[in-house]
Amino acid sequence: MVYLAVNLGVKQSTLVKGRLSEDGRIITETVHEFQTKSFFSSDGTLVWDVDDIFSEVVSGIRKSGKIDVISIVGWGSDFVLLSESGERIGDAVSFMDGRTKRLESKPEKEMLFKRLGVQASDTSLLFQLLALRKEHPDQLERAAYLLSIPGYIAYRLTGVIKHEYTYASTSALVNPGQKGWDYELIDSLALPVHLFTELSDPGTEVGRVKADIGVECDPAVILAPSYLQASAALGTGEDEGSAYILSDSTLTVGMRLPSPVLSDEALALDLSNEGGANGTVRLVRKLGGMDLISAMGISGAAQKAQQAKLGELFDAADEKYLAPSAYSLIAAMKENIGEGELAAVVYNSIAISVRDTIRSFERITGKRIYQINAAGKLDSYLMMLIAMYTGLSITTVSADAAVLGNLLSQMISTGELGESRRREVIRKSALGTQYRRI
C-alpha cells in the first residue's frame, strides 16, 4: 500500500509519500512543500489562511500519483467553527494572535490540572474559546461544529466531521482518564456543549476523498495522531521503558503511560498529560532548549563550553527560559560572563534539567527508564551531556519524527504493520546517531 502523510507546520508544511518495503523499511518521497500562510484580518487579528492550506494540500495530493491512505497532523490549539450547513464561521485565529491575554479572568490552572491532568497554556483551546466568547459571542451562538485544523482539512476532503483524541487532549477540556470531553466543565464555562462531539481514536477512518476533489485513486482519509507532537513521539520509538526528547525551539521530554498522573508533585513540576497513540497518555514537560543555544549567538559554542569553567546553573524547566523571554535573559547573562562560561552554563543547565525531569518521571510513576529516544533539531554536544548526566543511552531518529509517526500510524491502522514491529521498522528506516552513557 502507498500512504501519504500530510504534516502541517506553523511555518512550513510537507506532504510525504511512504510505503513499507519487503525488508521492513519505510521508503519515503517528499511530493509537496508549501509555506503555511497566515495574515492579519481587517480588525488586526492574526488568522490562518485555511483556504490556501487546503488548496496546497489538494495540489500535493494530485501530485502524489496512486495513494491508498491519507492522514493529516498539525499543531494543537487552533480550530475552525462550522455552521449547520458546513460553512465556515469567522476566521481560524492563530494561537500567536495573543487574544487570550485580553481575558480578564480564567479558570485556575491548579483546578484544571487536578481535574484533567493538564498544564493549560494561554494558547489552549479552552482559553481561545473563552476569548472568542468575549469578543465574538455571535460566532459561538451560530456554530454547529468545531474542528481542529487537521480535522477541518479532512472534512474539506471527505465531507465527514470527526474529532481526534490526541488533538483534543491539548484543549484543557478533555478528561485523559476517561479519554473524553469533560462536559460538566464545558457546561460550567458556558461553552456550547454540542460543539464537542464524540472523540475518535487514531486509526479511525474519516471517509473517502470526494470525487469533486479531482483525485483519481479514491484514497481513504484515516485519523493519525493528529497533534504533531503525538505523531512525533510515536516516530521516536516511544515505549513504556523509554523516555523521549523532541527538540525544536524548546525541548519536550516525555514518556508513554497507560493512564494519567494527577499527583500534587506532578502539578508542582509543571508536568502535563497529553493523548498518545493506541489510547495511551504521554507525560510531558517542556524545557528551554535550542532557543537558549541560539540566543547565545556564539560561534563554536560547544567547543568553547568544553574549555570553560562551569558557573552558576539555572533551571531550564522554568517557564521564563522559554521563548520569547529566553532571549532577553541570555542577553543579560552575556553582559556579565564570557562566551565560554555562558556556553558551559547554558549547555549544562539544559542537560541537568533533562536529567532531573527523567528522574522525576521515574519517581512519580514508579517506572524505570532505560533508554532515551530523540528527534528534531539535535545538538551533538547537548546529547552527549544528556547521556553523561542521565547515565542513559540516546538513540536519535534521522527522519522527521512527526512524518514517520504519521506513516507508521497509517500502516498500523491498515494492518500492514503490527504495533510490535514498530521500533524495528524505525531502526531500519531512520536510525540516526547513538550517544552511549559514560
Residue ranges and CATH numbers for the domains of the chain are 3-222 (3.30.420.40), 235-397 (3.30.420.40)
pLDDT per residue as tens digits for the range 57-85 = 999 999 999 999 999 999 988 999 999 99
Categorize the per-residue pLDDT at 438 as very low, low, confident or very high, splitting at 50, 70 and 90. low
- Is this prediction's pTM over 0.75? yes
Contact 35, 103 (CB under 8 A): no
- 388-421 core/surface letters (b: 16 or more CB in 10 A; e: else): bbbebebbbbebbbbbbbbbbbbbbbbeebeeee
pLDDT of 29 over the 70 cut: yes
pLDDT of 96 over the 80 cut: yes
Question: Residue 431's pLDDT is what?
Answer: 87
Question: Residue 309's pLDDT is what?
Answer: 87
* Residues shown for the chain: 438
Beta-sheet pairing, 371-376 with 242-247: parallel
Peptide bond into 324 cis (omega under 30): yes
Question: Residue 319's pLDDT is what?
Answer: 84
Q: Percentage of the chain surpassing pLDDT 70?
A: 100
SS (H, E, C) the chain: CCEEEEECCCCEEEEEEEEECCCCCEEEEEEEEEECCEEECCCCCEEECHHHHHHHHHHHHHHCCCCCEEEEEECCCCEEEECCCCCEECCEECHHHCHHHHCCCCCCHHHHHHHHCCCCCCCCHHHHHHHHHHHCHHHHHHCCEEEEHHHHHHHHHHCCCCEEHHHHCCCCCEECCCCEECHHHHHHCCCCHHHCCCEECCCCEEEECCHHHCCCCCCEEECCCCEHHHHHHHHHCCCCCEEEEEECCEEEEEEEECCCCCCHHHHHCCCEEEECHHHCEEEEEEEECHHHHHHHCCCCHHHHHHHCCCCCCCCCCCHHHCCCHHHHHHHHHHCCCCHHHHHHHHHHHHHHHHHHHHHHHHHHHCCCCCEEEEEECCCHHHHHHHHHHHCCEEEEECCCHHHHHHHHHHHHHHCCCCHHHHHHHHHHHHEEEEECCC
End-to-end CA distance of the chain, in Å? 43
SS (H, E, C) 180-243: EECHHHHHHCCCCHHHCCCEECCCCEEEECCHHHCCCCCCEEECCCCEHHHHHHHHHCCCCCEE
Question: Residue 243's pLDDT is what?
Answer: 96
Q: What are phi and psi of 241, to 5 degrees?
A: -105, 5
Categorize the per-residue pLDDT at 240 as very low, low, confident or very high, splitting at 50, 70 and 90. confident
pLDDT of 389 over the 90 cut: yes
Q: How many CA atoms within 13 Å lie on the side-chain side of 156?
A: 22
The per-residue pLDDT of the chain, averaged, comes to: 92
Question: Residue 238's pLDDT is what?
Answer: 85
Contact 277, 234 (CB under 8 A): yes
List all residues 6 or more positions away from 238 whose beta carbon is below 8 Å from its beta carbon: 244, 254, 255, 256, 276, 282, 373
pLDDT per residue as tens digits for the range 113-152 = 999 999 888 889 999 999 999 999 999 999 999 999 999 9
Kindly report which listed range (130-144, 174-188, 324-338) carries the lowest average pLDDT score: 324-338
